[in-house]
Structure 1
């Protein structure tokens, strides 16, 4: 993608799908699920113009059709960051998503490459660069901030050409990555299954973060405008209809998974579902059980020094499969744990939650309560 702007994806890590339900929506009220559709580029930012096609136009038309299909085939609420040809700052796109308290953010773009032979649809989530191509794309597309007035103050010194800037932002906003990958996989599989598109798989790269956005996010690359055949397809009414319906189906399927019986059962095992029971026992001191605050989970191992965790002390970590989980504190009562959790949330760990351990093994909090009723 050689367009000036792209990749408005912030994805923050979580640890289990049960934590999904700590968000504002209820599994008994699916109509509360909100998706924000972000048509890339716009106004004086045309995006890439491979073979004379306009990315900003294709992204907008496809986004509108995605929203129309969703509204006609589900009770998901749809919000657009733009519904006409206008330039929207990165920070404003984030604000739109935050003000709506969205559950999913989807950014729509078209790709480009030096070789006209490259083709296929793909999805991106935020992550550290796996190769030089991903780094090059991220640096190029993040440079859209230079089109904005007061970009230095808006983005607090973020330098799209400095990999360290990207890495620091990724570490700050890892909480929803697991959910973002799940959503991206659902959309990617929809491309392959419904349209037999080439599977370019879900990729990670350090695109400029919507730093104040708090929801799973996916960037969709519809295909390559630099491939003449694919560009013509994406620019056609038939191509946009097929692509928009396929993406919309992926979004609906993702939402439905969240409300499936598997996810509902996982929710019952979370602290969120157990709060009422726990309140009556929250002052009990356990001799063989400790409570810790899970801050985040990530596939990347990192030092537990204070500077990596907003200067919090007593940080520990464990590895479960390929995922590293990071915890704060170790206390004997649920009351103390609640205070630690509140502190962590105030410092920016918005999705931190309480975990119980017995003999250094994680146990369900419900077991702690049920065994003491």
Structure 2
């Protein structure tokens, strides 16, 4: 009798273990199947050729590179690619951002080519920000000039003049809470150009590109190089050059997505290393502005923590040693409008990956 009962208990334990195993696998599977929506924006198009350095057309090169990036990323099951244009047509700047916003995209990448009166060369990547310097301002003004070709642009942009320094400088920074992620993907792209392709490094910079201002997700604008430089223009106009640049952009985007996975992976039945050592927080915003941590400044969220890192301030909500509690805090933050809020983990005050924080001891 005891033997039979023992046998039943063993079977019962195995069933419980199997159910838990299925639950965990389903949880991980659901996460693994999440599609990351990436919107690729080929600059200019149609009646707007972009710059015509050495007789090359920026709109054609940008489109070919964007299509190649999309072609490579479509091979990934967890990535969904959308294009603002896949042929030679003119798309309003506001519409490009609108496409990404309606698709609830995780990332927006706008592709362009640069020009200059000198023999300048090299690739650069931009994120939305306040005016950096006169040189960056001129680039922003050139790319924003496409606004003048749009119908009723005065109404859409409420008096914005792309040729006015005051208008460019006066644009508000609407993406501060996305800035960290924008800088992360921009750095990955720029490093690939610099170290893998040996392109001249024009670095990651911030400026007020209207096409980035229209989006509500992490966004970057890439200047592949200068068509006005004969050697670089020839490289960018070639199929080989376009393929090389596209491959590095696609590789950077996928590495960015993999990093996002590491920071948000779901583990329902893991044990925290040590509650006294590990803490979780929800980052709701970041930027250069020092804001008082009052609830009215954070849509009603209380107990906001502000930490200064260099010239930036980061704002955190829901400090806890429990990952499940952190998830609840993140849901609250997102319900308040912080759609890009994410969880970070710290061990003894140092940031670590969520994956490492959730490992069994």
Match of 1:92 among 90, 95, 100: 95
Q: Give CA deviations for 1:164-193 in whole Å, capped at 9, x if unaligned.
A: 6645421x3211111111111111121123
Q: Give CA deviations for 1:73-127 in whole Å, capped at 9, x if unaligned.
A: 5542111110110000112111211222211111110011110x21111111111
Distance 1:254 1:294, change over 3 A: closer
Q: Give CA deviations for 1:188-223 in whole Å, capped at 9, x if unaligned.
A: 121123212122211111111555522211111111
In 1, Cα distance between equivalents of 2:285 and 2:290: 12
Partner-residue secondary structure (3-state), 2:172: helix
**TM-superposed deviation, 1:226:** 0.6
Max radius of gyration: which structure? 2
**TM-superposed deviation, 1:140:** 2.8
Equivalent residue runs for 1:321-340 within 5 Å: 321-322=309-310, 323-326=312-315
In 2, Cα distance between equivalents of 1:254 and 1:225: 28
Distance 1:152 1:348, change over 3 A: farther
Contact 1:120 1:199 in 2 (8 A): yes
Does residue 1:180 correspond to 2:182, yes or no? yes
Aligned to 1:127: 129
Does residue 1:241 correspond to 2:240, yes or no? no
Distance 1:151 1:349, change over 3 A: farther
Contact 2:94 2:211 in 1 (8 A): no
**TM-superposed deviation, 1:310:** 8.8
Does residue 1:227 correspond to 2:229, yes or no? yes
Aligned to 1:43: 46
In 2, Cα distance between equivalents of 1:35 and 1:93: 13
Contact 1:108 1:222 in 2 (8 A): yes
Bigger mean CA deviation after superposition, 308-317 or 143-152:
308-317
In 2, Cα distance between equivalents of 1:60 and 1:44: 14
Q: Give CA deviations for 1:121-165 in whole Å, capped at 9, x if unaligned.
A: 111111122211111221232222121112222223434325466
Number of positions where the alignment pairs a residue of Structure 1 with one of Structure 2: 308
Aligned to 2:308: 320
Aligned to 2:74: 71
Equivalent residue runs for 1:1-373 within 5 Å: 27-30=31-34, 32-72=35-75, 75-115=78-118, 117-160=119-162, 161-163=164-166, 166-170=169-173, 172-211=174-213, 213-259=215-261, 263=262, 266-267=263-264, 295-298=284-287, 300-302=288-290, 304=292, 309=297, 318-322=306-310, 323-326=312-315, 349-351=338-340
Contact 1:294 1:328 in 2 (8 A): yes
**TM-superposed deviation, 1:60:** 0.7
Contact 1:74 1:252 in 2 (8 A): no
Partner-residue secondary structure (3-state), 1:102: coil
Partner-residue secondary structure (3-state), 1:72: coil
Distance 1:328 1:29, change over 3 A: closer
Q: Greater RCO between the two (CA within 8 Å, min separation 6)?
A: 1
Distance 1:165 1:61, change over 3 A: closer
**TM-superposed deviation, 1:237:** 1.4
List alignment gaps of at least 5 residues for structure 1. Answer: 1-24, 275-291, 330-337, 356-360, 362-373
**TM-superposed deviation, 1:44:** 0.6
List alignment gaps of at least 5 residues for structure 2. Answer: 1-28, 269-280, 319-327, 350-361
Contact 1:317 1:324 in 2 (8 A): no
Contact 1:180 1:218 in 2 (8 A): yes
In 1, Cα distance between equivalents of 2:189 and 2:299: 38
Aligned to 1:286: none
Q: What CA RMSD, in Å, does the superposition of the two structures yield over aligned residues? A: 4.1
Contact 1:104 1:217 in 2 (8 A): yes
In 2, Cα distance between equivalents of 1:110 and 1:223: 5
